[in-house]
Amino acid sequence: MMDRLQDLKERIRRFAEERDWDQYHSPKNLAMALIVETAELVEHFQWLTQEESRSLPPEKRSTVEAELADILIYLVRIADKLDIDLYHAAVEKLQRNADKYPAEKVRGLSKKYTEYP
């Protein structure tokens, strides 16, 4: 996984360099683009039931896949610009979440960790 993420980061970097887009890729601009793409993803699920959101028709699934790719590309690009190792950050965050939400205490519950006894 880590090698694939590194490969993706390098491909995105090359893509931007070949088009001279690096000048526009500040963390601020990339974060704004990320939020726009995330909103586009959400739009595909608006008004769907829980079940409908789990079983998208092929054409909608394909569109959602493209939106997820856009989100990942911007996310990886922001991390690259800030020299953040996304894999390491995610692993650390999972550990912090495991500490906040011990499985034996929160199984099947959706409350925030501050709301548990």
Residue 42: enclosing H or E segment and its boundaries?
helix 27-45
What letter would DSSP give residue 82? T
Q: Please provide residue 20's backbone torsions phi and psi, each rounded to the nearest 5 degrees.
A: 55, 40
Could you tell me if 6 and 76 are in contact, meaning their C-beta atoms sit under 8 angstroms apart?
no
- Can you give the pLDDT at residue 15? 98
What is the Cα–Cα distance from 18 to 21, expressed in whole angstroms? 8
Fold of 2-101: Helix Hairpins (1.10.287)
Could you tell me if 5 and 87 are in contact, meaning their C-beta atoms sit under 8 angstroms apart?
yes
Per-residue pLDDT of the chain (117 residues; tens, 9 = 90+): 669 999 999 999 999 999 999 999 999 999 999 999 999 999 999 999 999 999 999 999 999 999 999 999 999 999 999 999 999 999 999 999 999 999 988 899 888 878 876
Contacts of 28 (CB under 8 A, 6+ apart): none
- Can you give the pLDDT at residue 1? 65
